[in-house]
């Protein structure tokens, strides 16, 4: 045989092996696909029946029993229970009340209303007394009355001040009069010695001049002038006689000293120089 004829059988033999392998692979694939399709389309397995039978008694055991009679009585209590709608007023509101309960509530409400009116009546009887108390209260004074009262108080204070000042002036005048009397007594004691030295001339000697600062019929006016002069520093005195009260200052000294004193006393009164 030739070489070509020997090579052909080998070639055909190799092709048959590959074909067989391909067929085997295809068969495996077809078998796997068939098994997968059977699994997907398979009906519910019958092995679940024992589980369902086991669960069924459990469902029967967990079912609720029939409601007892007490449940209905509890529900009735809930239905007739009073519910407070307004805590401030404290008035209960009942749901689905019977006629008897409504009548009881109405009677209770009437009793509460009667008690409330009874407690409010004493307060109402006492209230009219309050306006009387308010009416008795003093009315606040007006601005004009306050101003008039203040002016009156100021006037009284001014009068008191003037009286105190006049009293002080009178005391000063009395003190000055006492001093003048004392000085006059001392002068009287020293007069005999001076008489011996008195010249025979008719002219007054030095130191025998003074001031006359007024003559008043009212002694109070004279005392007032005396006090004013005393406050100004002058030794004033009052000489009363023939319905007149004369106010003198001095003796001061010579005429020159009297003129100086007259000039200083002009702030108080108009005085004239007189011989003493």
- Higher-pLDDT residue of 129 and 25 is 25
Extract the tokens encoding 43. 């009906």
Mean pLDDT value of segment 93-118: 79
Least confident of 69-78, 168-177, 265-274: 69-78
Q: What pTM value is reported for the model?
A: 0.27
Residue 256 has pLDDT above 60, yes or no: yes
pLDDT, position 27: 93
Task: Supply the range of the domain harboring residue 173.
Answer: 146-177
In a domain, 254, yes or no: yes
Q: Among 177, 192, 217, identify where a domain stops.
A: 177
In a domain, 90, yes or no: no
Give residue 30's pLDDT band: very low, low, confident or very high (50, 70, 90): very high
Residue 221 has a CB neighbour count (10 Å cut-off) of 14
CATH number at residue 241: 3.30.70.1070
Say if residue 215 is in the same domain as residue 259.
yes
Cα gap 26→33, rounded to integer Å: 10
pLDDT, position 203: 45
Cα gap 51→129, rounded to integer Å: 93
In a domain, 227, yes or no: yes
Cα gap 113→258, rounded to integer Å: 107
In a domain, 203, yes or no: no
Say if residue 217 is in the same domain as residue 257.
yes
Q: How many residues can be counted in the chain?
A: 276
In a domain, 43, yes or no: no
In a domain, 215, yes or no: yes
pLDDT, position 50: 46
Cα gap 127→124, rounded to integer Å: 5
CA–chain centroid gap for 87, Å, is: 35
Least confident of 72-86, 96-110, 251-265: 72-86
Residue 45 has pLDDT above 60, yes or no: no
In a domain, 98, yes or no: no
Round to the nearest angstrom and report the end-to-end CA distance of the chain.
Answer: 212
Q: Among 177, 198, 232, identify where a domain stops.
A: 177
Cα gap 256→235, rounded to integer Å: 17
- Higher-pLDDT residue of 233 and 78 is 233
The total of structural domains in the chain comes to 2
Instruction: Give me the chain's average pLDDT, please.
Output: 72
In a domain, 221, yes or no: yes
Least confident of 46-55, 68-77, 253-262: 46-55
């Amino acid at each position: 045989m030739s070489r070509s004829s020997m090579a052909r059988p080998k070639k055909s033999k190799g092709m048959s092996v590959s074909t067989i392998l391909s067929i085997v692979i295809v068969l495996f694939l077809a078998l796997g696909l068939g098994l997968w399709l059977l699994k997907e389309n398979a009906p519910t397995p019958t092995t679940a029946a024992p589980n369902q039978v086991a669960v069924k008694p459990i469902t029967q055991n967990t079912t609720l029993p029939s409601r007892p009679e007490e449940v209905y009585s509890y529900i009735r209590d809930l239905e007739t229970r009073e519910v407070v709608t307004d805590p401030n007023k404290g008035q209960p509101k009942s749901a689905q009340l019977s006629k008897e309960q409504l009548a009881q509530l109405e009677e209770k409400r009437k009793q509460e209303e009667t008690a409330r009116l009874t407690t409010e009546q004493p307060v109402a009887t006492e209230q009219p007394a309050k306006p009387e108390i308010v009416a008795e209260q003093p009315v606040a004074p007006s601005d004009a009355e306050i101003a008039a009262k203040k002016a009156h108080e100021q006037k009284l204070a001014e009068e008191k001040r003037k009286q105190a000042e006049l009293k002080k002036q009178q005391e000063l005048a009395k003190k000055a009069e006492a001093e003048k009397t004392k000085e006059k007594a001392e002068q009287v004691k020293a007069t005999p010695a001076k008489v011996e030295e008195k010249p025979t001339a008719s002219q007054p000697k030095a130191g025998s001049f003074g001031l006359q600062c007024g003559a008043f019929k009212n002694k109070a006016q004279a005392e007032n002038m005396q006090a004013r002069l005393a406050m100004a520093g002058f030794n004033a005195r009052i000489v009363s006689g023939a319905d007149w009260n004369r106010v003198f200052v001095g003796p001061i000294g010579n005429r020159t000293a009297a003129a100086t004193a007259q000039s200083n006393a002009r702030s108080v009164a108009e005085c004239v120089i007189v011989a003493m």
